[in-house]
Amino acid sequence: MRFLTRSLMGLFLLALTLGLLAMGGFSIYKAVEARKARGGNAQMQRERVFAANVMPVEFGTIAPVLTAYGEVRSTRELELRASAAGTIVELASDFEDGAEVERGQLLVKLDPAEAQATRDSAAASVAEAEAALAQAERALLIARDDVSAAQRQADLRRKALDRQQSLSDRGVGSAATLETAELAASAADQAVLNRRSALSTAQAQLDTARTGLTRAKITLSEAERKLSDTEVRAEFAGRLAEVNAVAGGLVSTNEMLGKLIDPTALEIAFRVSTAQFARLSDARGELRDLPVTVELVAGEETLTAQGQLSRVSAAVDDGVTGRLLFARIETGAANLRPGDFVTVRLSEPALDNVAEIPSAAADAKSTVLVLGAEDRLDEAPVTILRRQGDAVIIRGDLAPGTEIVTERTPLLGRGIKLRPMRPGQPEAATGPEMMKLDPERRAKLIDYVETNPAMPDRAKQRFLAELKQEEVPVATVEKLESRIGG
């Protein structure tokens, strides 16, 4: 009996389980059918229309502007170095960084005592050499007079000998008298030779004295130079930088005391690519004489200067590419300092039959979206010639006045219908686009919202509030009708 009761209970539970499974399967079936029914309606959506900014393309002549970045340099700098070792005994009152100095102004003075003593000693040596030279000149003059006197005496002796020889030939004079006259003439000739030897010695002494004077003057000049080296003066008007000197300090030879910079002799060094350099040079490879605008951003202000392209570097450094160009500053140099990082803008030669468009209007394939018939988009190829800032300069086979999309997005492409937004036309930027509904269409949308069980209550309240207004947002109408397929 107990076995029969348990068997019946098991059959009852089995039947109940099968019934529940059948009810669950039926519910799933109905849900799938309802899902399919809603999916069928969703396929009847309206074509989406996207809004985008468009602009007409106007072709003409444009001078591209090349933008580069460079550094301000000085073309006239002087390192102030100590030419001699010593103690600084005097400094200019404005010997400090940024101070302006005049040409020839005394900047640093070293202790001149030792150099002054050397200079005075050299001056005394010059005086001695001049005295020795004067004495040698006088001795030479006397030696010349001695030679002249000896020569006259020799001539007299020669005449006396000739007279005795004449008398002897006539048999009047004696042989002893003739011999005495010959000895006297020979002695006179010997005296002339001795005086000439003395003259030669006096001439040599004069040459030595002159050489000694020259050496003394050279020594004096060197001493005066060393004395002048104790003073460091400005060779040109400019500003001081990297000052490294204090009064009383001990400096060594060639020690750097500061740097003098000419603020009016400035240039800009900036690097461009090889392709850009090719556009800046002529057919012979010579750099064009182009104007340059230099900009230095200083907070909210921008300091500008004007210059001229001057030269290109002779070689390319290791590890870099392109060309290093230099432009000299002609006006506005007072606003710049060596070491400033500036923006350089150059006006390239003008291009004909080109147009300037936003860079976002062209894609990586160099195509633009063109507004065609019925406001549908099409693609057109263009040639990008230059990129400058947020714009590009293009050349293409487009009719003048053709409108293109100024900013491409992944949603836009060929065949898409567009609601063009043109520059200058009234924009509905203050709120969504609105439209008026006829009563039948309004009632249909309200009924769909009220009877939709899958829509949250908050969304229902928002949609109903918008649908009960006199003008309804177009986006709301399109969204609801795409769901009900109306």
Phi, psi of 476 (to 5 degrees): -65, -45
pTM of the model: 0.57
According to the model, what pLDDT value does residue 70 have? 92
Q: What is the mean pLDDT of residues 113-119?
A: 87
Pair of tokens at residue 259? 């740097």
H-run or E-run covering 461: helix 457-467
Annotate 170-189 with DSSP letters as a single string: TT-S-HHHHHHHHHHHHHHH
Phi, psi of 321 (to 5 degrees): -125, 175
CA trace torsion 452, 458, 459, 461 (10° rounding) = 80
Q: pLDDT band for position 172 (50/70/90)? A: low
Q: What integer best gives the mean pLDDT of the chain?
A: 82
Domain 51-64+351-421 listed as CATH 2.40.420.20: yes
According to the model, what pLDDT value does residue 436 have? 77
Radius of gyration, CA atoms only, the chain: 55
The count of residues in the chain is 486
Question: What does the pLDDT look like over 253-296, one tens digit per residue?
Answer: 888 888 898 888 899 999 988 888 888 888 787 888 888 999 88
Q: Which residues contact 286 (CB under 8 A, 6 or more apart)?
A: none
Q: Is a pLDDT exceeding 70 seen at residue 235?
A: yes
Q: Is a pLDDT exceeding 60 seen at residue 458?
A: yes
Residue 481 CA from chain centroid, whole number: 62
Q: What is the mean pLDDT of residues 429-438?
A: 65
The string over 405-429, giving b where at least 16 C-beta atoms fall within 10 Å of a residue's C-beta and e elsewhere, is bbebeeeeeeebebeebeeeeeeee
> Which residue intervals of the chain bear CATH 2.40.50.100?
83-111+230-260
Question: What does the pLDDT look like over 372-392, one tens digit per residue?
Answer: 887 888 888 998 988 888 889
Pair of tokens at residue 345? 């803008």
Q: Is a pLDDT exceeding 60 seen at residue 337?
A: yes
Question: 3-state DSSP call for residue 436?
Answer: strand
> Which residues partner with 110 through β-bridges?
88
Lowest mean pLDDT among 155-159, 313-317, 475-479: 155-159
Residue that is written with structure tokens 């900014």 in the block: 53
Q: What is the mean pLDDT of residues 424-443?
A: 68
Q: Is a pLDDT exceeding 80 seen at residue 166?
A: no
Q: Which of 72, 75, 70 is nearest to 265 (CA)?
A: 75
Q: Is a pLDDT exceeding 60 seen at residue 343?
A: yes
Q: What is the mean pLDDT of residues 130-146?
A: 85
Lowest mean pLDDT among 99-108, 145-154, 334-343, 357-366: 145-154
- Report how far residue 18's alpha carbon sits from residue 367's, in angstroms, rounded to the nearest whole number: 65
Per the model's pLDDT, the better-predicted residue between 101 and 187 turns out to be 101
* Region of residue 118 (phi > 0: left; psi between -120 and 50: alpha; otherwise: beta): alpha
Task: Quickly name the fold that domain 83-111+230-260 has.
Answer: OB fold (Dihydrolipoamide Acetyltransferase, E2P) (2.40.50)
According to the model, what pLDDT value does residue 426 have? 55
Q: Which of 230, 262, 249, 208 is nearest to 74 (CA)?
A: 262
Q: Is a pLDDT exceeding 70 seen at residue 41?
A: no
Residue 232 near residue 69 (C-beta atoms within 8 A): no
> Which residue intervals of the chain bear CATH 2.40.420.20?
51-64+351-421
Phi, psi of 452 (to 5 degrees): -85, 110
Domain 113-228 listed as CATH 1.10.287.620: yes
Q: Is a pLDDT exceeding 60 seen at residue 189?
A: yes
According to the model, what pLDDT value does residue 43 have? 42
According to the model, what pLDDT value does residue 326 have? 92
Q: Is a pLDDT exceeding 60 seen at residue 194?
A: yes
Q: What is the mean pLDDT of residues 187-216?
A: 83
According to the model, what pLDDT value does residue 197 have? 81
Q: Is a pLDDT exceeding 50 seen at residue 428?
A: no
Lowest mean pLDDT among 2-6, 36-40, 188-192, 377-381: 36-40
Pair of tokens at residue 147? 């030679």
According to the model, what pLDDT value does residue 173 have? 63
Pair of tokens at residue 47? 């074509």
Q: pLDDT band for position 486 (50/70/90)? A: very low
Q: Which of 356, 353, 352, 346 is nearest to 281 (CA)?
A: 346
- Report how far residue 82's alpha carbon sits from residue 70's, in angstroms, rounded to the nearest whole number: 33
Question: What does the pLDDT look like over 60-81, one tens digit per residue?
Answer: 898 888 888 999 998 888 888 8
Q: Is a pLDDT exceeding 50 seen at residue 40?
A: no
Residue that is written with structure tokens 């003439």 in the block: 185
> Which residue intervals of the chain bear CATH 1.10.287.620?
113-228
Q: pLDDT band for position 187 (50/70/90)? A: confident
Phi, psi of 265 (to 5 degrees): -110, 80
Question: What does the pLDDT look like over 210-230, one tens digit per residue?
Answer: 898 899 889 989 888 888 888
- Report how far residue 310's alpha carbon sits from residue 327's, in angstroms, rounded to the nearest whole number: 5
Q: Is a pLDDT exceeding 50 seen at residue 104?
A: yes
- Cα-Cα-Cα-Cα dihedral sign, residues 118, 120, 124, 126: positive
